[in-house]
Structure 1
Amino acid sequence: MNPHLGQRVLTWGPAEASVVVLAVHGRGQEPEVMRGLTARFGSLPARFVAPAAAGGSWYPLPFLQPMEANQPQLDEALAAIEARIDTLLDTGTAAGDLVLLGFSQGACLLAHLLLTRPRRIGAVVLLTGGFIGPDPIKAPAGTELVGVPVLLRSIEDDPWVPAHRVAETGRLFEAAGARLDVAIAPGNEHVVTDEACTTAADLIRRLRPRSG
């Protein structure tokens, strides 16, 4: 059994909202961290769904370690997020109304998932993260990410996520046809800037709720 699928899921925001944000927390965190982060976005016409990782982390070692060193937890985490996405789509959320939001380890997980198992969604917000593993990967060859807005934000000297990996991740999304917005702010702390929050909120607001 996948240990991540037995964990609690925190939800907030208007239950009737058609736009749904799947919010994936970082290492050693709980879903409440994502609720606190999105409070900085201001009021949004969106429902938020934040699953908890087993033991507070999606995989055990830093994301630049060899892939096999993070197994089997990494594959379990990727499968768990895919299952969460499938559940949302199967219960009435349209693909174009689904936003994937991740911070730190959560952003790494989402970046890797979308670049290795791409799928059509409404938008992507990755705050301080990049694809997983020490080796380069290829941009996906399909059309699933064409036109999808992808927002990447990070800090120049972040202690955990090198700026070059964030930039490389952005290039892969761009090569896959996504509409990329990437910016790396000066600093050396593992934080989300006010600019990142404002821009993410604007992106989510542009996904207009369906009528009728």
Structure 2
Amino acid sequence: MHTKQVIQAGKQTGEASKALIMIHGRGGSADDILGLATYLPVKDFALFAPQATNNTWYPYSFLAPPKENEPWLSGALAVIKEVVADVQASGITTDNIYFLGFSQGACLTLEFVARNATKYGGVAAFTGGLIGDTIYEQNYAGDFGGTPIFIGTSDPDPHVPVERVHASAEILTRKHAQVTKKVYKNMGHTINQDEISTVNELIFKES
């Protein structure tokens, strides 16, 4: 199971008024995803990057029945919940907590915020969708209250069908998120400069 191993960077929590929680992808690491921060205007943020056991949050595709990815999926969601609680305990309010994830980390990020919807600072999901063989909307609670959420993806993508991205965006919108979705033809499984520019403009604009 996952244990809470978190790399911290950026401002100390006592000094920062905003926090960014960064979730790495399958085969990636906390160090990898932290490297993205150099492209974002987050110098005044406290940065938190949890590390998955064996560099993967759950063993199978995010499109597998959730029970096949247990207990890893629930454990991964619990780690993020603990990180959020730690950030809140440091005095940073929920509307100043931001999330970013890539690939498996983007799927996990979207699943976490949908299950715990409230007014966050913003969410950037680079190539991801809500988790499951179908979307289990009964698991999702709360209201985003206008939280800006960005989802970018390639069409096609080898891991994330564009249909799941569209369906995920619809559900998040119904929960009153301000969703911006961008689909790039044949981009490949990566993050491009337009995505970075878009999240900087839409999500990190006030920093």
Normalised TM-score (structure 2): 0.91
CA shift, 1:43, in A, is 6.0
Percent identity reads 28
> One-letter code of the match for 2:172?
F
Q: Kindly provide the CA deviation profile for residues 131-172 of structure 1, in whole angstroms up to 9, marking residues without a partner as x.
A: 111113337776531211111111111111111111111111
Deviates more, 1:124-133 or 1:181-190: 181-190
Confirm or deny: 8 A CA contact 1:139 1:175 kept in the other structure: no
| SS of equivalent to 1:99 | strand
CA shift, 1:23, in A, is 0.3
Q: How many residue pairs end up in the alignment?
A: 205
Relative to structure 1, is the Cα distance of residues 43 and 174 closer, same or farther in structure 2, using a 3 angstrom cutoff? closer
CA shift, 1:66, in A, is 1.2
Confirm or deny: 8 A CA contact 1:99 1:123 kept in the other structure: yes
| SS of equivalent to 1:3 | coil
Relative to structure 1, is the Cα distance of residues 142 and 187 closer, same or farther in structure 2, using a 3 angstrom cutoff? same
Deviates more, 1:60-69 or 1:35-44: 35-44
CA RMSD in angstroms, aligned pairs only: 1.9
| SS of equivalent to 2:191 | coil
Deviates more, 1:12-21 or 1:165-174: 12-21
Structure 1 segments unaligned to the other structure (5+ residues): none
Rounded Cα–Cα distance in structure 1 between residues aligned with 2:29 and 2:41 = 21
Structure 2 match to 1:3? 2
Deviates more, 1:118-127 or 1:139-148: 139-148
Structure 1 match to 2:197? 198
Rounded Cα–Cα distance in structure 1 between residues aligned with 2:10 and 2:27 = 24
Relative to structure 1, is the Cα distance of residues 149 and 50 closer, same or farther in structure 2, using a 3 angstrom cutoff? same
Confirm or deny: 8 A CA contact 1:118 1:144 kept in the other structure: yes
Relative to structure 1, is the Cα distance of residues 205 and 111 closer, same or farther in structure 2, using a 3 angstrom cutoff? closer
Confirm or deny: 8 A CA contact 1:27 1:57 kept in the other structure: yes
Normalised TM-score (structure 1): 0.89
Rounded Cα–Cα distance in structure 2 between residues aligned with 1:82 and 1:55 = 20
